[in-house]
Amino acid sequence: MNIIHGTSSDSPVHSLIPRVGGFRTLMSFVGSVGHLMNGTGLQKPLDVIFARNTFPHIIRGKAYARAVCVHFLIDAVLHTLFQSKLCGTKLTLPSQDVPSQLSGIADLYYDLMSGKVTVLIC
């Protein structure tokens, strides 16, 4: 922008319109969503899931792949909470059975992705 504004108005450079590439646009969008999410208390749980100092990069949109994973993860959690509230069920996860339940969740996920199981909404 400085080069374009530094040229005279009759220069062919003055008619150029600089634009950001597609990936930079995506990073900017993810960064703007992260800016809205900053201060919501997500840093602590995300520090457990990802590396400790990754959260600032996720919020700014610099760690794009992790940021996309975080947004999908947050969407899944909010969707699960919403459905449990809608169906009137209580979500519980006993601490002693966490590994077996996580493997059960992984099996269910793979069954859903392969099409062996379908989702029934209450």
pLDDT digits (tens, 9 = 90+) for 43-97: 887 777 777 788 888 888 888 888 888 888 888 888 887 887 777 777 765 566 5
Q: Quick check: 23 pLDDT over 80?
A: yes
pLDDT exceeding 70 applies to what percent of the chain?
Answer: 80
Q: Quick check: 36 pLDDT over 70?
A: yes
User: CA nearest 31: which of 52, 59, 3?
Assistant: 59
Burial, 45: exposed, middle or buried (Cβ in 10 Å; 0-12, 13-18, 19+)? middle
pLDDT at 31: 86
Q: Quick check: 121 pLDDT over 60?
A: no
- Say if CB 30 and CB 23 are below 8 A apart: no
Model's pTM, two decimal places? 0.54
pLDDT at 90: 73
- Say if CB 13 and CB 4 are below 8 A apart: yes
Q: Quick check: 20 pLDDT over 80?
A: no
Q: Quick check: 35 pLDDT over 60?
A: yes
